[in-house]
Structure 1
């Protein structure tokens, strides 16, 4: 009898222990499932909140801004930044050389939901000199929702990044950023900075003013920065006149900035083996209406420059041009 009682007590204890063990396992498994679900919910929640929080508060505002940088490491250029343009706005990224056109150097991308953008450009091995990079937003060539927001021709765009463009039949407003990326150093980073324009009082006057430019030199280029009172988009040509030589490649053509300022980059004569001993030459900065196709420029200065006035005007048989010569000594 005692043996039977003892066996019954042992069996009951085993059942109790097994039941507790199974219960603990079930509780543990339930806890793990609960924690996993909680973690998943938190991750999804964080992802959604962060994406919304990272978007600019003024996203879609007509006064557009950009920030970020253009970075070169070896032959790879990385363009990355942030803007308050609407998501899916198309940015056109251009890459060219000061010394010649780079085939296939252009591409486009869309602004992300949080306002960021990022792309990479590969510099062809044969290009060793200064590289020009541009970022352009052109509403007229974008999708219809973007046109509806900023205007069919970008007429609602505002801010210092905005430029006038008349390369097509209609007058347009675009956002434009330009950078010069050197290759004579191992790496280079150029920050995106908001330009500051300072229009002169005589801006757009028919009496043309071309100030003495600031000229800096290195082993390969002339960097010419100057001010005029010419209208935005007026095309200026800078060319080198080298005594005793007929040359055509030492020049740059640029469009005047919104305040009449400009910047040119011209290869030095010494980059050519035949001209390596040249010590003196002239920089000729000129504005010829034949170089200008914009209707607003022709209306302001005349189809053939007949309205141009002032000390820098050169009269020819049927036209007038503005011209300034600067002597350069190496």
Structure 2
């Protein structure tokens, strides 16, 4: 745009005042601890701006022009120190190879705050992840470090899920640490206790410490749940190919919760589902992995209409994802499986043996 000169005469003294003012603005804008290049960065500008306001207020107060109330009670902000915590209250067994984790999850407006305590060494990184049966979820994962006193805290965005159960897994994996944590071994092989899970990955065996939190997806803000460690002692015939299952079924709102004790090997994948005679249906069940003591739990949706009696079905079918230990114990096609729960079906590779437990449910009783 071309400058259009005004036809109006301006006294020289006015122009002189304008030039002086512009010079003052340029000088002030160029000061501020050399931050001229950070004008577009609010974080970089926040410090100098606050300091300038404080200095101006202090000068005015010294001149008696304003009242400085910065130290009054109504301006004080309560804060909680979350770094540099003291190790005075750390667990007595901090750093022991018998690792344990305790956690809680609290629902807030748009996030879930996960906190807890562990005897892991300070600086160890733990991870929390939220999952829900029937949903494919990404990005609901967060890491935190163990503080000097053994505590940890993190927050994860609350999933937009209106029903069912959210499963929060809190885990510590030594193989994913930035530093070598000697008490636990490079692959966690030195860790012991009921919180330790074993997985096979890329031709190696890894160990991790795990605890779980199960919470109602539709719960109100402020609701809180504690972690569970359902792992107990392994049965005497743990890993025996003669498989047995002892289920306990509880009805929840819209779901059946099936808790099972078995002698299946850790990491074995089991599915829980519903079979409604003379009905075509899908999306009622879920899959889960067996815990180190052979136990597991799955949820199956309750039918939403009166369908008469139906069956809750638990299945274990060997596939290409079998761990080395399960492959050795059960066989590639389950040919080593035995017992009353064994079923057989024909596949392109031959006869496949699998485990199935059926439980009849009559909702009218």
User: Does the pair score TM above 0.5?
Assistant: yes
Task: Please name the residue that 2:147 is paired with.
Answer: 112
Q: Equivalences for 1:135-150 in 2 at 5 Å?
A: 135-146=170-181, 148-150=182-184
CA contact 1:94–1:106 (8 Å) conserved in 2: yes
Q: 1:71 aligns with which of 106, 113, 121?
A: 106
Q: Equivalences for 1:304-319 in 2 at 5 Å?
A: 304-317=333-346, 318-319=351-352
Distance, in Å, in 2 between the alignment partners of 1:52 and 1:178 is: 26
Indicate the structure with greater helix content.
1
Q: 1:258 aligns with which of 292, 308, 312?
A: 292
Q: Does 1:189 align with 2:204?
A: no
Q: CA deviation at 1:285?
A: 0.8
Ranges of 4+ aligned residues in structure 1 off by more than 6 Å: none
Q: Equivalences for 1:263-282 in 2 at 5 Å?
A: 263-270=297-304, 276-282=305-311
Q: Does 1:165 align with 2:199?
A: yes
- SS of the aligned residue for 2:223 comes to strand
- SS of the aligned residue for 1:103 comes to coil
Distance, in Å, in 2 between the alignment partners of 1:326 and 1:240 is: 9
Superposition RMSD in Å:
2.3
Q: CA deviation at 1:193?
A: 4.6
Distance, in Å, in 1 between the alignment partners of 2:115 and 2:278 is: 47
Task: Please name the residue that 2:354 is paired with.
Answer: 321
Q: Which runs of 5+ in 1 are unaligned?
A: 1-47, 271-275
Q: Kindly tell me the number of residue pairs found equivalent between the two proteins.
A: 277
CA contact 2:238–2:265 (8 Å) conserved in 1: yes
Q: Which string of whole-angstrom CA distances, capped at 9 and with x for unpartnered residues, describes residues 6-56 of structure 1?
A: xxxxxxxxxxxxxxxxxxxxxxxxxxxxxxxxxxxxxxxxxx997131232
Distance, in Å, in 1 between the alignment partners of 2:309 and 2:179 is: 55
Q: Which runs of 5+ in 2 are unaligned?
A: 1-82
Q: Which string of whole-angstrom CA distances, capped at 9 and with x for unpartnered residues, describes residues 112-143 of structure 1?
A: 22211001122133544321111011111212
- SS of the aligned residue for 1:299 comes to helix
Q: Structure 1 116/129 Cα, relative in aligned 2: closer, same or farther at 3 Å?
A: same
Per the normalisation by structure 1, the TM-score is 0.77
Task: Please name the residue that 1:201 is paired with.
Answer: 236
Task: Please name the residue that 2:121 is paired with.
Answer: 86
